Amino acid sequence: MSTMAEEIDDSLYSRQRYVLGDSAMKRMANSNVFLSGLGGLGIEIAKNVVLAGVKSLTVQEGTICQIQDLGTQFFLRDEDVAAKRTRAEASLGRLAELNPYVMLKKADLDLTPDSDLSFLAEFQCVVITDASHSLLLKIDAFCREQKPPIQLIAGEVSGVFSYGFCDFGPEFTVVDSSGEEPKEIFISSITKDNPGIVTTLDNAFHGLESGDMVTFKEVKGMEALNGTQQTVTEISPYAFSICDTSAFGSYQTGGMFREVRLPKTEQYASMQDQMNSPQAVIVDFGKDASMSHLAFRSLHQFRDQHGQLPKLSDIESLCQIANKINQQSERPLDTVDRDILLHMAYTYITKFIPIFDSDIESLCQIANKINQQSERPLDTLDRDILLHMACTCSSAFAPLCATLGGILGQEVIKAVTGKFVPLNQWLYLDAVEVRKGLEDQEQDVFEPKNDRYDHLRACIGEPLCDKLAKLRLFMVGCGAIGCEMLKNYALLGISSHADEGKITITDNDIIEKSNLNRQFLFRPRHIQKPKSTTAAESSREINSALTIEAHQNKVHPATEKDIYNDAFFELQDIVVNALDNVEARRYMDIRCVTNQRALMESGTLGSKGHVQVIVPHMTETYGNTRDPPEHSVPYCTLKTFPATIEHTIPWARDKFESSFTQKPAMLVKYWAENGSPEDVMEKLRTNEAPEHTFAVLKLMKNRPATWQQCVARAWVKFEKNFNHKAQQLLSAFPLDHRTKDGELFWQSPKRPPAPIEFSASDDLHMTFVESYSRLVADYCHIPYSDADRQSQNITKLLADVKVPEFVPSNKRIILEDTPEKPDEDAEGDMSDEDIVRAISDLRQLQEGGRAQGAFLSMTPVEFEKDDDTNSHIDFITSASNLRATMYGIETADRYKTKRIAGRIVPAIATTTAAVSGLVTIELIKYIKGCVLEDHKNAYMNLAISLVMMSEPARARRTLI
């Protein structure tokens, strides 16, 4: 088994790298984690931790698989129950399939309050699930005593209630508190004063708070500030003060500042101290976390006192009484099966109500006693919370396991990397709304049937379970969120009814290796297979009763008429978005509004996620809200006046598209639409000049025929882009050029370019020439070998290349802030002279044999960011960094360039799991018929341990 500690496998971890960064990834790859408990919560945490890429995960779980476990534990199968395997034995192999870089181990021991805990000393993080508070207190004390302390994470899902807890020791260093990339902001002025006041250019928001630190560079006049770190005091969103600048030179122009992120030390109290004086994250202002804390403490104390959880009935006692009743009957049965026993016993359920009532009273007494001893006692106790917890505590609500498992999985990553702010220190989540109105249900609807849905049935009752089984659901997207959703659907038995119900899923994408890091239904053997069909197959492995129909279509106007028409939407009970772009979300929102179908909307961006509930006539729609507009850079900035690396990378990406994709595609389209060269000449003679004629002819005239010509062309392009254009700009606007207002033309943020002289000994220069040559050869169908691409051989070919000298031109330089790029290949009406010249050029190409057969064809290069062997990112990185060097901009590595050029959305499995669980809870609420006040929109940022839930906005109403 290999490790990624030395080198990160970018093909697998690329999306996660952009969330955590390389240093955190490498620290994680050297960490050892211990996890106790592989129930519904434990397996979710284990899945997320293995996908993330720790060095090793040791699991401890001796519980024998039960049929009920199949409703919460997605890595257990019927054969595991039949073979009476432990949860650890059944899960270990399937966990190992998730990530070849993680070593999975099984700890064959029992973890009790009397256990010797010395074995835990080898781990950097210990995770305990579904354990008693007495055991947790002992483990926490042990972890805090170690040097350095071991980070402890604990969690439990008890019915529709859950908690998470973190103790990262007396002192824990947070290396990066937010993960946000520090911005570089241009300076408008710096006063010479005590303190000096810095004002941003164009009133840009600096986003700083008092106490933050910044560093300066490229400041002119007040050069003493360059390279120094200064503590800031916020004055306004656009200004802040720093040190005494009165002794420095006067500020002239230019400069920028950048926030400096310094490690922070956080302190955590022990679990013992936190029991009586808890610090809890506020999740929902409508719920009291203190009551949840009290309820869990009471539940654990009840179990310690009574040796069991409170329950409505004891099955064995029920069976004994039922047998006794049967024996006293005038016509006793010879044999009675379990179902009949339960049914008969339920007839006399009043015998058991006092038992449960006594449990509730005992639980309430414990809660009152704990509350009185608390440092901040509650005025009144919520008996309903205690009742719902008592009713469901012997079960686990699967969607809640997914959400808490995602959140605590992220806490494990924080513990072993120091990346992001850990939980401080308790987190309480519940889905008690799914229980509202069930208090009056007959008790038999919650009774176990010894099947995979017993946990769910105990939480929501048999009628709602039946509705879920008969549900008709349409989900768009089978990526990271889609996979997590399907796993939840399988555990809940959605669309599992033999005759009714169906899940329809669609995704037109195929599986890539980079998907495996967070789309956990996929394995290496699935690469290049359709996402939708593969996800459906993997979901049926979790629950074979599911009815799933998998499509490979895109949901857009082109499929609206014949496939996803109004009739299709009208057949659906609910629609779920698992999409990754705004345009598709808006389209789905319109379709659901048109057909009055509820829509569950969600999305993630790195550690951030959101959930939006959209119910017809109840809530606002997705279209009622507006995402912040994407920041657009004026075309003149990209074209002529770049100021940051974020300007040069899009420029290089645009060069790739125009040079290797758009122009070859234009040529192919031109000849496909206009026929043979003879046909084109005839059209020219009759003044029917085809569009793009001159651009196509220029492309054909400059088309290389050999590898050597490709190399020559690459050097010519180097000179044009990184030498001649700089000379042209400086000839039009010399360094001392002034505007009409008398201001210097070249002042911040404009940077004057400096022409680059090509050098075959410079790796950056040679990377550009090699990658450009290769890409031209690819679209022109010119063969080359690996030896041809070697620097020494390219250098030999360059010796014979004649590069044109620079000649100033009168071409207009765009200075206006034009937001869009003009069509450089657009052509106006052709004059008679133009037509004669075009015919002449085409004849010359014919005479040279370059206007026939293969010369009329090219293969456009389609950008592929995840193939490191195709030179696509090599070209963009080299072109961007050459342009940055020309303008005096700090260059970027291949890693950052790939993210920006590839428009890669940072992603991590933990956020996806947490979001999918919340969406599934809202789905169940909708099917149950919950009112607006019971639904919850959610926003989370796991980097800063933020989870916020709020009531959805009401639907807008218009009086007519």
For 894, phi and psi rounded to 5 degrees? -60, -35
Strands 264-266 and 197-200: unpaired
Residue in 243, 319, 364, 636 annotated catalytic: 636
Q: Evaluate whether 167 touches 415 at the Cβ level (below 8 Å).
A: no
Collapsing DSSP to helix, strand or coil, 937 comes out as: strand
What residue type is 93 in one-letter code?
G
- On the question of a cis peptide bond just before residue 749, with omega within 30 degrees of 0, the verdict is yes
| Cα(558)–Cα(908) distance, integer angstroms | 32
Task: Name residue, tokens 């009471």.
Answer: 298
Q: Which contacts of 520-526 are long-range, i.e. CB under 8 A and separated by 24 or more positions? A: 520/47, 520/51, 520/98, 520/483, 520/484, 520/487, 520/909, 521/483, 521/486, 521/487, 522/483, 523/97
DSSP label at residue 226: B
Q: Evaluate whether 422 touches 945 at the Cβ level (below 8 Å).
A: yes
Q: Evaluate whether 15 touches 39 at the Cβ level (below 8 Å).
A: no
Collapsing DSSP to helix, strand or coil, 399 comes out as: helix
Count other C-beta atoms under 10 Å from residue 911's C-beta. 30
Q: Evaluate whether 183 touches 207 at the Cβ level (below 8 Å).
A: yes
Q: Evaluate whether 507 touches 536 at the Cβ level (below 8 Å).
A: no
Q: What is the distance of C-alpha 405 from the center of its chain?
A: 16
CA torsion angle 932 933 935 936 (round to 10): 130
Strands 161-167 and 264-266: unpaired
Residues 6+ apart with CB under 8 A from 102: 50, 53, 54, 55, 56, 57, 96
Count other C-beta atoms under 10 Å from residue 273's C-beta. 15
| Cα(410)–Cα(404) distance, integer angstroms | 10
Q: Is 401 a catalytic residue?
A: no
Burial of 705 (0-12, 13-18, 19+ CB in 10 A): exposed
| Cα(296)–Cα(707) distance, integer angstroms | 73
Count other C-beta atoms under 10 Å from residue 348's C-beta. 12
Count other C-beta atoms under 10 Å from residue 112's C-beta. 11
Collapsing DSSP to helix, strand or coil, 932 comes out as: helix
Tokens of 505: 């899923």
List, as one string, the DSSP characters of 625-674.
S-PPPPP---HHHHHT---SHHHHHHHHHHHHIIIIIIHHHHHHHHHHHH
Q: Evaluate whether 32 touches 6 at the Cβ level (below 8 Å).
A: no
Q: Evaluate whether 54 touches 105 at the Cβ level (below 8 Å).
A: no
Q: For 700-736, what is the HEC assignment? A: HHCCCCCHHHHHHHHHHHHHHHHHHHHHHHHHHCCCC
Tokens of 489: 């659907």
| Cα(758)–Cα(765) distance, integer angstroms | 7
Tokens of 858: 């090219």
What residues does 334 pair with on adjacent strands?
A: none
Count other C-beta atoms under 10 Å from residue 443's C-beta. 15
- Residue in 153, 69, 59 with CA at minimum distance from that of residue 108: 59
| Cα(721)–Cα(153) distance, integer angstroms | 55
| Cα(700)–Cα(220) distance, integer angstroms | 49
Active site residues: 636
